[in-house]
């Protein structure tokens, strides 16, 4: 049976005698072959396999069949040799390598790792084992030391190497403390207790006090352990101060200063300033005015773009325009040139009466496109500029792209409805593409109505002015219906879709949000009940349902918070966080409030959605409404101030 399948793999490169079936029939046969393979119907599978010799996805059948026979090394090797460029072959190779290790095929295993270095990063345990058995024992032991210190789980698979490592005199005291530190920070105290058994009693007692301080970090000064080894003292200080800073940054900052004064800890300069910087940034993100001085006190070597940005934001919150101007002028040149700081420097100049300088800065911004450019244009009384351009594309390059096997496989997966597999093939085929090829890829993805890949391709092609393709009016009927039902403007719905999923209806985030508007299942169920829907199963990958529920949720948030900008912040970060942020700084100056959102992701999200709304108004042929009014909570209205 295996010999027959290997023969089929070989013969698939030879043109069949019968005529090639129609593509629709090939797609149907492919799916039937896949089902036959899953059900181990070998006879039916072989019959269908032969008929698919020229179908782009036939290599997948070979790969999946080989995956079922990982102990047949020659067959797997032949399939990988023929189809190694197919992304799913990478999964086959990985599974085969693990199987080789389990069967102690060390020579073959070593050859695979040498030929494919990426395997070492994906399979560190297997890499250490093959090094050990290839005679690279010191390298294997050194790699295992790092692995062990990072509190990785020691699986049964790698336990023989663990025993050899122990027999070689490990763990050393330093290695033991490194693992203790990682485990304690992860609050895995049962493992800490076991690992600390060889340590002196005083150090074990210190570890138990560390455990108590993790639960009650506010007691740090009162219950600071005595007679600690310096390394352990710093571990406790670093961990507990960080934990305390999440609750009360001011108390954390003061406690750290007192520990330094008492010489209870003796950190290196890097340890001290990195911890102090982290506490100061947490205070800044809670809008604590004292954080401005703490950030300013950091030595220049420990200043970062983030510390400088938060010094500027704290000046904004304090309405201290002179301090803002000073902070921006002290930034490195590349940071000063960011549109964010050019805009806020212009505002600082305006508040200090330097009108001509302010206007000059705003004019340099207003010709661009984006959140700050639109704000600058509005401040000058101008309409936003969109600078839309057609796609620049080489027809010959497009034709060459169509002939690539990976691109053809991507198209077939797309037609079969497997967007994830299609995207994997697409990205693999374009790994080394230059801007000309990406331009052709954007045109091809546009033909396929593959909007998210059009958007990405245009970014790689550096053709950001192709606005009609980058901001499609896709799912127009569903958007119009949901906007009417929810009371939202269509551009608000499209902007959220564009920001959340880039129009990928099958998008799924790492936390489980799904579909075009990235809804969590629990939220979607609650929304469906509010809308009187009876279905117990919600297919959030179905565009009409996802858009309806997402628009309803956004409208609910806008009604709750009184502003679409706040609603967008709540959509991204959650309503509870937005309420907490509003308790720290009110919304009287909306642009300042948005600029000082603690989460960088949410800040950018709100700014993008607000700017996208302007673009989507333009895409619909509507007059562009005031971005300032939109931030303030005024419903979208036409804004036609004269140009000066």
The answer on pLDDT for 9 being more than 70 is: no
Bridge partners, residue 638, by sequence: 625
Run of H or E including 362: helix 355-366
Contact 339, 372 (CB under 8 A): yes
Residues 16-35: what's their mean pLDDT?
A: 79
Query: What's the gap between Cα 294 and its chain centre?
Result: 31
Q: 497 and 602 in one domain? A: yes
Tens of pLDDT, residues 258-304: 999 999 999 999 999 999 999 999 999 999 999 999 999 999 999 99
**96 Ramachandran zone, left/alpha/beta (phi>0; psi -120 to 50):** alpha
Other Cβ atoms closer than 10 A to 632: 17
Of 125, 378, 500, 558, the catalytic one is 500
State which of 464, 488, 511 marks the end of a domain: 464
Query: What's the gap between Cα 555 and its chain centre?
Result: 26
pTM for the model stands at: 0.92
Q: 545 and 437 in one domain? A: no
**Which CATH number belongs to the domain containing residue 442 in this structure?**
1.10.1240
171 cis-preceded (ω within 30 degrees of 0): yes
Lowest-confidence segment of 8-22, 92-106, 175-189, 451-465 by average pLDDT: 8-22
Reported as a pLDDT band with limits 50, 70 and 90, residue 22 is confident
The answer on pLDDT for 15 being more than 80 is: no
Contact 481, 602 (CB under 8 A): no
Handedness of CA 158, 160, 163, 164 (dihedral sign): negative
- What's the mean per-residue pLDDT of the chain? 93
- The rounded distance, in Å, linking the Cα atoms of 375 and 631 is 11
Residues 454-459: what's their mean pLDDT?
A: 98
Q: 616 and 571 in one domain? A: yes
Cβ within 8 Å of residue 534, ≥6 positions away? none
Q: 590 and 483 in one domain? A: yes
pLDDT at res. 2: 41
- The rounded distance, in Å, linking the Cα atoms of 353 and 185 is 52
The answer on pLDDT for 613 being more than 90 is: yes
Match 């990195």 to its residue by tokens: 274
Tens of pLDDT, residues 393-441: 999 999 999 999 999 999 999 999 999 999 999 999 999 999 999 999 9
pLDDT at res. 634: 59
Q: 542 and 597 in one domain? A: yes
For residue 424, being part of any structural domain is answered with yes
Q: 519 and 615 in one domain? A: yes
Q: 604 and 489 in one domain? A: yes
330 vs 643: which has the higher pLDDT: 330
State which of 464, 493, 510 marks the end of a domain: 464
Q: 511 and 609 in one domain? A: yes
Contact 442, 454 (CB under 8 A): yes
Report residue 428 as tokens.
């693999």
Tens of pLDDT, residues 564-593: 999 999 999 999 999 999 999 989 999 999
For residue 5, give the nearest of 76, 86, 93, 100 by alpha carbon: 76
Tens of pLDDT, residues 118-175: 999 999 999 999 999 999 999 999 999 999 998 788 888 899 999 999 999 999 999 9
Domain total for the chain?
3
Q: 531 and 565 in one domain? A: yes
Residues 477-495: what's their mean pLDDT?
A: 97
Burial 388-412 (b: 16+ CB within 10 A, else e): beebebeeebbeebeeeebbbbbbb
pLDDT at res. 635: 52
For residue 145, being part of any structural domain is answered with no
Torsion of CA 469, 471, 472, 478, to 10 degrees: 170
Tens of pLDDT, residues 353-404: 999 999 999 999 999 999 999 999 999 999 999 999 999 999 999 999 999 9
Percent share of the chain, pLDDT over 70: 95
Reported as a pLDDT band with limits 50, 70 and 90, residue 227 is confident
Report residue 190 as tokens.
């049962």
For residue 415, being part of any structural domain is answered with yes
Bridge partners, residue 559, by sequence: none
Whether 500 sits among the annotated catalytic residues: the reply is yes
**Which CATH number belongs to the domain containing residue 610 in this structure?**
1.10.530.10
For residue 282, being part of any structural domain is answered with no
Residues 608-625: what's their mean pLDDT?
A: 97
- The rounded distance, in Å, linking the Cα atoms of 527 and 531 is 6
pLDDT at res. 21: 52
Tens of pLDDT, residues 298-322: 999 999 999 999 999 999 999 999 9
Q: 484 and 454 in one domain? A: no
Q: 575: domain range?
A: 476-632
For residue 202, being part of any structural domain is answered with no
């Amino acid at each position: 049976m295996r010999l027959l399948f290997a023969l089929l793999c070989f013969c698939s490169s030879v043109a069949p005698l019968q005529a090639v079936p129609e593509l629709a029939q090939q797609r149907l046969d492919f799916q039937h072959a896949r089902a036959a393979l899953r059900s181990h119907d070998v006879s039916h599978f072989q019959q269908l396999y032969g008929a698919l010799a020229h179908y782009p996805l036939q290599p997948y059948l070979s790969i999946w069949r080989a995956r079922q026979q990982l102990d047949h090394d020659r067959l797997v090797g032949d399939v990988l040799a023929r189809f190694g460029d197919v992304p799913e072959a990478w999964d086959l190779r990985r599974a085969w390598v693990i199987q080789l290790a389990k069967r102690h095929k060390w020579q073959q295993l070593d050859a695979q790792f040498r030929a494919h270095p990426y395997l070492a990063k994906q399979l560190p345990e297997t890499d250490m084992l093959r090094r050990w058995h290839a005679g690279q024992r010191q390298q294997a032991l050194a790699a295992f030391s790092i692995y062990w210190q990072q509190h990785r789980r020691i699986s049964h698979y790698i336990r023989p190497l663990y025993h050899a490592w122990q027999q070689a005199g490990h763990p050393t005291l330093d290695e033991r403390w490194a693992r203790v530190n990682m485990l304690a920070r992860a609050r895995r105290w049962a493992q800490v207790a076991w690992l600390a058994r060889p340590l002196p009693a005083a150090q074990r007692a210190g570890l138990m006090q560390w455990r108590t301080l993790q639960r009650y970090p506010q007691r740090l000064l009162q219950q600071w352990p005595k007679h600690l080894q310096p390394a352990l003292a710093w571990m406790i200080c670093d961990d507990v101060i960080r934990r305390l800073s999440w609750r009360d940054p001011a108390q954390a900052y003061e406690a750290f200063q007192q520990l330094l004064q008492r010489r209870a800890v003796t950190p290196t300069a890097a340890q001290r300033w990195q911890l102090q910087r982290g506490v100061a940034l947490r205070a800044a993100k809670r809008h604590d005015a004292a954080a401005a001085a703490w950030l300013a006190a950091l030595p220049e070597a420990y200043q970062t773009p983030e510390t400088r940005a938060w010094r500027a934001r704290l000046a904004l919150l304090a309405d201290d325009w002179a301090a803002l101007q000073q902070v921006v002028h002290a930034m490195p040149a590349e940071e000063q040139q960011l549109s964010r700081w050019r805009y806020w420097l212009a505002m600082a100049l305006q508040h200090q009466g330097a009108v001509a300088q302010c206007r000059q800065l705003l004019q340099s911004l207003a010709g661009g496109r984006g959140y700050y450019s639109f704000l600058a244009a509005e401040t000058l009384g101008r309409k936003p500029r969109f600078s839309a351009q057609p796609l620049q594309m080489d027809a010959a390059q497009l034709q060459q792209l169509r002939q690539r096997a990976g691109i053809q496989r991507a198209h077939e997966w797309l037609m079969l409805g497997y967007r994830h597999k299609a995207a994997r093939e697409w990205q693999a085929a374009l790994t080394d593409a230059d801007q000309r090829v990406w331009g052709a890829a954007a045109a091809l993805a546009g033909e396929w109505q593959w909007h998210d890949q059009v958007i990405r391709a245009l970014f790689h092609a550096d053709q950001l002015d192709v606005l009609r393709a980058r901001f499609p009016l896709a799912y127009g009927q569903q958007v119009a219906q949901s906007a009417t039902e929810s009371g939202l403007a269509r551009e608000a719905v499209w902007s959220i879709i564009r920001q959340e999923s880039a129009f990928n209806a099958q998008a799924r985030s790492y936390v489980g949000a799904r579909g075009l508007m990235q809804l969590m299942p629990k939220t979607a169920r609650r929304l469906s009940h509010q809308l009187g829907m009876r279905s117990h199963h919600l297919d959030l990958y179905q565009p009409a349902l996802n858009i309806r529920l997402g628009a309803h949720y956004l409208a609910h948030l806008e009604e709750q918070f009184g502003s679409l900008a706040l609603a967008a912040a709540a959509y991204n970060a959650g309503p509870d966080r937005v309420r907490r942020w509003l308790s720290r700084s009110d919304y009287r100056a909306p642009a300042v409030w948005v600029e000082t959102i603690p989460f960088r992701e949410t800040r950018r999200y709100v700014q993008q959605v607000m700017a996208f709304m302007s673009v989507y108004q333009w895409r619909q042929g509507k007059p562009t409404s005031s971005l300032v009014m939109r931030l303030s909570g005024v419903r979208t209205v036409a804004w036609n101030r004269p140009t000066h």
